[in-house]
Structures are given as C-alpha cells and as structure tokens.
Structure 1
Amino acid sequence: MLAALIAGFMLSQAYRTAAAMMASHLQADFHLSSAQLGTYAGAFHFAFGALQLFMGTGIDLYGIRRTLLAVFPLTVVGALLSAYAGSFGTAVLGQALMGTGCAPAFLVCTVFITRRFAPERFAAVSGAVLGIGGMGMLLTATPLAWVVQEFSWRTGFLVLAGLSTLAWIGIFVLVRDTPRAATGSATAQITQALRGFGSLLAMPHTLGIIALGSVTYASFMSLRGLWLGPLLVDRYGYSLVASGNVALLVSIVSLFGPPLFGRLDPGAAHRRRWIIGFTLFMALLFALMAWLHSALALLGGAVLIAFISGYMVLQYADVRAAYPSELTGRAMAAFTMGMFLGIALMQWATGAVASIAAAHGFDAYAAALCTIALMLGAGALAFVALPAPKK
C-alpha cells in the first residue's frame, strides 16, 4: 500500500519540477517574461498548498484511499489541458489543476506512516519515502528534456497524463483504509476538524515552524523546479538535453539526503539547532551561486544543495514532536500547506525580482538566487526569534 501511495507522490514530484525543462520553450511559445514564468510555475504550488487543510480534513473524514482516488484524476485533466493549451492563461489553469490533483499525494504518505508505524520510526520511514518519491524528479530531468527537444513540451504533458492514470489504477487496486469508528455526522466532524485547525494555529510556536517551513523546501524547488534549466541554457549555453543531464544528477543526489538525515536525526534536544544551521548554510550556497559567475560553481552548489536539502525531513520530525497526538494529522497538513504556499510565493517573488533586475540592466539570475538566500535567512531568523514548543 505504501508503495502505491509513493507512486502518486513520485508523480507529484515530476509535475512540480517539469517547468525547469519546459521553461525556455514555454517562454518562446507564449512570449513570457520572467515574472510570468514564475507565476506559471508557482500556480501548481499555490493550488497544492492552499488545499492542504481541506485534504487533511478529507483524510480524517473519508480516509486516505477515497480522498486520493477522488482528487488525483485532476492531474490527468490538468496535464491534458496543458498539452493542448492555446494561451498562457490556459497553461496556468492546467498547472493549478495538476496542483489540486497532487495536493494529497505526500500528506497521505505521512498520515499512513503515522498510523501504521511506531513513533520512533517516523523520521526514518518518512525520510525513505521522501527519497524514493524524489525519483519522480528523474522523469523531469534527461527523459523529459529529450522528449521536449525531440517532440515538444506538449508531448511531455501527455506522457505525464498517462503515468498519472497508471498510478491512479495502482492506488485503486492496492490501497485500503483502516476501519474507522463512527464519530457523528459529517457536518459535526468537519466542524470539529476546523476547530482543531483553529487551536493548532493559535499555539504560539506554530508561526515560527511555518515561517521556516515556507522557505526551506521552496529554495530547493525554486532551483530545481524553475531556475536550473534557464540558468544553464541562457547563462552558460548548455543545450536542453545537457541541462537535463545536470537536473538528473541533482535529482539523483537529492534522493540520498532524506533517508540519511532521517537516520541521523539527533533527537529533540539538538534537532532545531541542526535545522537552523543547515538553513543558513543553504542561504550561503545560494548567495555564492549568485555572484560566482562560473558554471562549475553553479553545478557544485546545485549538487550540494540537493544533498543537504535532505535535512528538511527533520522539520517533519520537529512538527510531529511539537503537537499532541490528536493534532498530528492537522499539524502535518498545516505545515505542508505553508511549505507549498511558500514555494508558490518564492517562485513568484524570484520571477518578479528577476524581471525588475533585467529591466534595470542587472543580472536577472543573480537577483533571483539572492532573493532565495535572503528568504532563507529571514525564515531562519523567524524560527529562532519566535516562541519554540514547550519541552
């Protein structure tokens, strides 16, 4: 069952990183600015993040299987709409539909792990799931670059639609929910769930957790899912397939970080220090990539970021430890919502800053990378300055 759920998560990883390999062709076909490209890539993550609370409530009320089977077909609809899009607005709508369809993809995995595995195994198992699910990014590296170069970016979306259909069939056949006791009417359950979210957001340490969560994964996804391809093609003259090879390397390296950090989890006493330290190190790497105009520096920085981004699995362990067990599912949903809304915000913000920089004669890519570094620093500051969970 977990393998079937991971298949859906893998497809969500593929969808959210596809823009990096399609960016140049999309810009040419629709005459997009950097700001519009950021809006296009961010639409998926905005829809994905905005629906996390609703998906968490749906999982609580109707179970993992029914929630995922009901929503995941929208990925196919969005991919087909994108493949036949005749305008920028239609392409953005396709991204939003794909983001909606993928919205429960990782959340169902974390809830499944929470319900089926012992608490002390959570970090290790969720780290393994993140690593395996990250293989979806391999699809949007060299393979997608080849498809786009030999056929078109529209064909790439048709391939993703077919794979999503197969994943849905696998979930339908293999996944079963645990029996649940009746707890009153659906209206009463929804009201209770919303009250639970209210109490969660009222806790003083929630803001700091979400503030940092909104920039950490966003930094890696903004690099791998949006800027890596254009940087390599426009700044350093790489072909699309060559940039796909780099993306493939970055994606492969990123698979090893989450399982490793999941096993190296230092525990509650030191976990938050690790999170802060690695966040600041990531900010430094982005700043160096911005100002060292060297393809080698970009490649080395991207690979190193891909590996150490695995420390983000510690944030999920931190969330699990910060709330009582009855709020765990909703806490995961709220954190995931903040994380993916953060991706949408960062991709939009970096696109806007890049457009402004280019209009004033500055390096658009340096501006985008520096914006990511500053947002990471701001997130780390909020995490330190705002109240921490009580021991």
Structure 2
Amino acid sequence: MTTRTAWAMVLALCTAFAMSQAFRTVGAVMASQLQAEFALSAQALGVFSGAFHFAFGAMQLFMGIGIDLHGVRRTVLVAFPLAIAGALLSAATGNYMVLVLGQVLIGVGCAPAFLVCTVFIARHFPAARFASVSGLVLGIGGLGMLLTGTPLAWLVQERSWRAGFVVLAAASALAWLVIWRWVREPGRPAGQPRESVAAALRQFGALLALPHTLGIMVLGAVTYAAFISLRGLWLGPLLIDRHGFSLVQSGNVALIVSLISLVGPPLFGRLDRDGPVRRRRIIGCSLLYAALFAAIAVFTEAWVDVAGMVLIGLLAGFIVWQYADVRTAYPVALTGRAMAVFTMAMFLGVALMQWVTGVAASVGVAHGVEAYRAVLATIAALLVAATLAFAWLPGPGARPVRQGA
C-alpha cells in the first residue's frame, strides 16, 4: 500500500469519526430544548448525554475483536448504520426513554469510528509517525464538532432539535458511502490461522492484568471525559443560565472551542517525545487542565469562562500523547486491542463523568451551590485524583504479554 493510498483511506475513515464527534457533542446545543420538552432535571440530562458514551465505551472490546477478526472496513460498515437508525429514532420520538435508546444505538454505531483510525495508522504508518498522524486525524475528525457549534445551534433555534438529528443522520449516511467506496484492506495471508473469539478475549484479559494498565486507564477515563462533558453537555447551559447568552451566541462559543480543539492534537503530536519525558508532560498538562476547570468554577465572569473554555479546547490536544503512550506500552501485535481497551476506558469515563456531573449539579442546587460551579469543581477534582494515580501507579515495565494465550 502506498503512502498516498493509506492517507486517502485514513481520510475516508475520518468521516465516520467526524460524525461520531458531532453526535457526542449535540447535548450542548439541544440541552435547553430537551429540558423544556421532556421536563428533564440536570441528572436526567446527564443520563441522556452519557448514554451515547456508555454504549460507545462498552462496545470497544467487541469492536477490537471485530477489527482483529474481520478487518477495519467490514467492522465499521456493519456497525455504523446503527448510528443512522439511532439518529432517526431520536428525531421521531416523543418519549424520553426512547430518546435515550436512540443515544445507545448511536453510541454502538459510532463505537468503531476512532478505533479503526488508530488501528489503521498503527498498521500502515511507521511507528515513529504514530503520534503525529494520530494528532492530525484527531484534528480532522474534530471537524464534526463544528457541526454542533453555530450551524446546528442555528438549525435547532430556527427549527427544532429534531431537525438537528435528521441532518446528522443524513451526513452519517454520506460518511458510510465514502468508507464503502474508498477503504480497502490487504487480504489475510494464505495459511494464517484465524484467531478465535475466546482467544481474543483472553488476550484482553492479559492486557488488563498488566500492572501498568491501571494507571493508563484511570487517567484515560477522565482527560477526554472532562473536555467532552464541558463541550458536549454543560457549555451551552452554563453560558445561557450564568451569563444570559442566546442559543446562537453559546453556539458561537462552542464553534470557537471546536476550532481551537482542531489545532491542539496536531500541535501536541508534533511536540511528542518518547520515554519518561512524555509521561512527565502528560502529568503536567493534566494538572494545568484541572486548574482551568477550577478557574471556571470559581470565577464567574463571562470573559473568564469563555477564555477558560478556549484554553481547555487547546490543551485537550495533549490527549494524543496518551495514545502514543499506549502505543509504546504494549507489543505491536496487540496494538489494536490495547487501543480498544484504552478507548473503552475513555468513553466509559465520559459516560460516568456526565452522570456524576449531573448528580453533582442536582446536589449542588439542593445545598445552595450554583449547579455549574458544582459540575466544574467535580471535574477538576476527578482530574487531580486521576493524575496523582497515573503518577503513583506502576508505569510500563518489562513484563511481557504472552502471545497465543
């Protein structure tokens, strides 16, 4: 496969990843209308938004096995239609529980969207370029968040949240066609045995048993979750309730944050350094990240909130270093599974954080604390705790993962 062909296929796979980014951030612009139409509490809104991420994260192991057994192309083409169906179901329903079911279907359909990109990069690009190429893919895929900024905010304000889901379903169908047309993979070498599902599951168990896996997964469960919980759920309601922004004005801020977040991954990918330096940088960035969330919690000036959100969008790019850390922490033959386990931790973390922050908002209000202050303080505390765990728990060692277990 030539480099040009590999890039064309990566860009095609990025279309599904971009739609996944759009789906996971719709809450920021739909939250107000959903709360009004379904009489949702902050906790129920957190469940709605978290349902996507829970389904997405829970399916990562199975998608990793699907990729190993059936390939990148077949896995994403089989799964992604569920996202289209979930979006159309959401647009048509008048029942909150069916709306949550729609989010679950979307999450399952989008589950392989980023994983197929990382596995494809690991298989078809040099190891030294993994961080830089992955960073670029994260930036390109982040274009999907632009849809849920000003454009979708305008559509939702002028039409309804239902129209937003219909547009996202149509765009997802187009992404499926692009992947079907452009992505091809080399066939399995003749005579190479096909691994059983049971053997694949045992390999996942071996990964989880390694002592350095826990620290990697604990931090992975909160860094991306912190950004998505802000950008995908609380950004719009915070700006509307705390500062009186209109839906379109809050959409403009979401658009700016999304644009800035496109710059971060390629930038941090180019700044990547292997070895202990990378892990020290991850710790430093995580603590600075937590400080920005704490600042928005404590200071309630509009300019502080907006500036903090923009800086968070930029700094979130350091997450590409965490993927590079995973890439070097496990044998090359297990790259796909290691990425699946890490991605599972990330998105189960998003689901958990969105549920926890919904609870924090409700508890805060009950005790006379502003909902958004409780939400952001909770995120900051989780980031600090996870960073300390990452620093204290064992790092990658010499203990190998047994092959053919």
Provide the TM-score with structure 1 as the length reference. Answer: 0.98
Q: Which residue of 1 aligns with 2:89?
A: 81
1:64-103 aligned within 5 A = 64-103=72-111
The DSSP-based 3-state class of the residue aligned with 2:24 is: helix
The one-letter code of the counterpart of 1:363 is E
Indicate whether 1:248 and 2:263 are aligned. no
1:267-282 aligned within 5 A = 267-282=274-289
Residue 41 of structure 2, aligned match among 27, 33, 39: 33
Indicate whether 1:343 and 2:350 are aligned. yes
The DSSP-based 3-state class of the residue aligned with 2:36 is: helix
Q: Which residue of 2 aligns with 1:366?
A: 373
1:1-391 aligned within 5 A = 1-181=9-189, 183-184=192-193, 189-390=196-397
CA distance in 2, matches of 1:267, 1:360: 47
CA distance in 1, matches of 2:309, 2:28: 14
Deviations 1:14-44 (A, max 9, x none): 0000111000000000000000000100000
Identical amino acids, percent of aligned pairs: 62
The DSSP-based 3-state class of the residue aligned with 2:152 is: helix
The one-letter code of the counterpart of 2:293 is F
The one-letter code of the counterpart of 2:310 is V
Q: Is the 8 A contact 1:75 1:100 kept in 2?
A: yes
Provide the TM-score with structure 2 as the length reference. Answer: 0.95
The one-letter code of the counterpart of 1:40 is F
CA distance in 1, matches of 2:269, 2:143: 17
Q: Is the 8 A contact 1:183 1:189 kept in 2?
A: no
Distance apart, 1:184 and its partner CA:
3.9
The DSSP-based 3-state class of the residue aligned with 2:128 is: helix
Distance apart, 1:268 and its partner CA:
1.3
CA distance in 2, matches of 1:62, 1:234: 48
Distance apart, 1:269 and its partner CA:
2.9
Deviations 1:32-71 (A, max 9, x none): 0000000100000000000000000000000011111100
RMSD: 0.9
Deviations 1:99-130 (A, max 9, x none): 00000000000011011100001000000000
The runs of 5 or more residues in structure 2 that have no matched partner are 1-8, 399-405
The runs of 5 or more residues in structure 1 that have no matched partner are none
Q: Is the 8 A contact 1:113 1:125 kept in 2?
A: yes
CA distance in 2, matches of 1:89, 1:17: 19
Distance apart, 1:361 and its partner CA:
1.8
Distance apart, 1:360 and its partner CA:
2.1
Q: Is the 8 A contact 1:286 1:372 kept in 2?
A: yes
Distance apart, 1:183 and its partner CA:
4.2
Distance apart, 1:376 and its partner CA:
0.2
Deviations 1:329-384 (A, max 9, x none): 10000000000000000000000110111122211110000000001011101101
CA distance in 2, matches of 1:178, 1:45: 31
Distance apart, 1:139 and its partner CA:
0.3
CA distance in 2, matches of 1:308, 1:385: 23
Q: Is the 8 A contact 1:254 1:306 kept in 2?
A: yes
The DSSP-based 3-state class of the residue aligned with 1:265 is: coil
